[in-house]
């Protein structure tokens, strides 16, 4: 990261008009307005749709293979965000992988606490299976969406449903007990909107009366046996660094083909800044290479 890029990031974070704390409805409006103000690339087309009764955005870039589908889950601490607000990152992942992206607008807490988001993810995935063979299907998610994608795969495995060919998890939030050491040790250098205090405020919104250590809430505590090849990316300046590192360790212990990429000195979901950040661009390219290696291929693993 050049000094110019670091200054540009600092400027962006210092002027974000939304927060993960406070009234969710108010913050959703602010977040949506801020993120949708950024124009999508000229070759990107976006269409609304539905999978299993769940609203989705169908995102294509010029030249992608629409027979290959990346089912994507946006971030937002389970309380904020939308498929449209996260369309820029989703489109970049799809373009890099040469795949269509279907981004799921799962229900948000606190109006719809656990398991609403997971139920929506399962419904959308089941419907995707009716249209796309698992060899041509992958799942991805950033932040809370990464946790949701992981919980989805755990539930699919538990229900003996076919799993996708691969998964990509960007800065996944997979421990809602907030027990990771970097929740404290990285708090002073994580420039993103994520803070330990903010996460503590949002956890009850999502979990309700459920124990946050429940494996389908915090898949860091789940049996990950049988999950498909998985790429996990995270920045070393994130309070969620430990979530990603520990998840990779659990996955490896359960014989998952897992790749962990830790990029030094970059913030939460740094891939979203690929247009201005060298490391973000490189990470998106690595996601594309990973998905191209597994999606649409006949493999023994």
Catalytic residue set: 143, 238, 268
- Three-class SS of residue 269? coil
Closest CA to 68 of 132, 129, 128, 124: 132
User: Angle, to 10 degrees, between the axis of helix 278-294 and the axis of helix 87-97?
Assistant: 50
- Could you tell me the two tokens for 86? 């996260």
| Rounded Cα gap, residues 70 and 77, in angstroms | 21
DSSP string of 14-77?
Answer: HT----SSS-HHHHHHHHHHHHHTSPPPTTEEEEEEEETTEEEEEEEETT-EEEEEEEEE--ST
Spell out the residues 6+ positions from residue 174 whose beta carbon is closer than 8 angstroms to its own: 146, 147, 150, 218, 219, 220, 243, 244, 246, 247
| Rounded Cα gap, residues 43 and 281, in angstroms | 18
| H helix intervals, 181-232 | 182-185, 196-207
- Three-class SS of residue 230? strand
Closest CA to 263 of 243, 283, 242, 286: 283
Contact (Cβ atoms closer than 8 angstroms) between residue 87 and residue 93: no
Contact (Cβ atoms closer than 8 angstroms) between residue 191 and residue 8: no
């Amino acid at each position: 990261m050049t000094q110019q890029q670091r200054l540009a990031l600092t400027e962006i974070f210092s002027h974000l008009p939304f927060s993960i704390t406070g009234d969710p409805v108010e913050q959703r409006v602010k977040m949506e307005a801020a993120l949708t103000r950024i124009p999508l690339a000229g070759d990107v087309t976006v269409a609304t749709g539905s999978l299993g009764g769940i609203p989705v955005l169908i995102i294509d870039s010029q030249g992608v293979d629409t027979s290959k589908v990346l089912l994507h889950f946006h971030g937002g601490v389970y309380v904020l965000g939308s498929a449209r607000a996260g369309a820029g990152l989703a489109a970049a992942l799809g373009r890099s992988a040469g795949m269509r992206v279907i981004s799921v607008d799962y229900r948000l807490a606190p109006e719809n606490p656990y398991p609403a988001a997971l139920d929506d993810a399962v419904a959308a995935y089941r419907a995707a299976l009716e249209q796309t063979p698992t060899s041509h299907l992958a799942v991805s998610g950033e932040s809370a969406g990464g946790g949701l994608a992981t919980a989805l795969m755990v539930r699919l495995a538990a229900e003996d449903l076919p799993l996708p060919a691969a998964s990509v998890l960007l800065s996944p939030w997979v421990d809602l007990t907030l027990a990771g050491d970097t929740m404290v040790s990285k708090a002073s250098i994580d420039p993103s909107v994520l803070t330990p205090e903010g996460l503590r405020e949002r956890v009850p919104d999502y979990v309700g009366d459920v124990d946050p250590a429940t494996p389908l809430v915090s898949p860091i505590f789940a049996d990950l046996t049988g999950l498909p090849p998985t790429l996990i990316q995270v920045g070393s300046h994130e309070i969620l660094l430990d979530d990603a590192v520990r998840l990779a360790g659990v996955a490896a212990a359960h014989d998952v083909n897992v790749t962990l990429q830790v990029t030094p000195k970059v913030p939460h979901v740094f891939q979203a800044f690929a247009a201005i950040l060298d490391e973000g661009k490189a990470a998106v390219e690595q996601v594309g290479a990973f998905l191209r290696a597994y999606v649409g291929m006949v493999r023994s693993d």
